[in-house]
């Protein structure tokens, strides 16, 4: 019959089997990520947590998962960390950090090629964050002077 109809049906089946976005424009971040401090239910700052948030993307439908890569400014080579895969519908992720330490964060959006080849990855801009935390004493510290010779 009509070869174009057969070709269209085969193309549609290939899309369903392979998934992804073959022959599509690549995706990219429209906005750079932001990093903020995390607060508990009482409004108190959690001293060792930061929340990385990312916004809009161009061609988002091709993204299968996100990851966050981060490192400390003082030792970029020795402190690089990568989160596990994050669901494509999430827009933030909480990360354990060391208070008063300079960090750099970037978000990685990936298209999963299911082992057929290496996943296609797109990085966001790198952003800086430092969790400025000053501990508060629950009870005021007491100071007692000792006289010399006692």
Q: Going from the N-terminus, what domains does the chain have, and what CATH number goes with each?
A: 21-130 (2.60.40.10)
Radius of gyration, alpha carbons of the chain: 24
| Dist. CA 56–CA 93, nearest whole Å | 15
pTM: 0.73
Residues of the chain scoring pLDDT < 70: 1, 10-25, 115, 117, 135-137, 150
8 A C-beta contact, residue 1 and residue 8: no
Tens of pLDDT, residue by residue over 28-56, are 888 999 999 999 999 999 989 999 999 88
């Amino acid at each position: 019959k009509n070869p174009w109809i057969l070709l269209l049906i085969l193309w549609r089946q290939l899309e369903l089997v392979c998934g992804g976005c073959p022959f599509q424009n690549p995706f990219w971040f429209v906005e750079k990520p932001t990093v903020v401090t995390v607060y508990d239910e009482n409004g108190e700052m959690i001293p060792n947590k930061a929340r990385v948030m990312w916004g809009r993307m161009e061609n988002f439908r091709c993204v299968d998962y996100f990851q966050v890569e981060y490192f400390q400014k003082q030792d970029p080579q020795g402190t690089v960390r990568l989160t596990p895969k994050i669901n494509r519908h999430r827009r933030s992720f909480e990360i354990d950090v060391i208070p008063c330490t300079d960090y750099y964060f970037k978000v990685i959006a990936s298209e999963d090629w299911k082992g057929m080849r290496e996943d296609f990855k797109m990085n966001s801009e790198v952003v800086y964050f430092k969790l400025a935390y000053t501990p508060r004493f629950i009870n005021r510290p007491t100071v007692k002077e000792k006289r010399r010779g006692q």
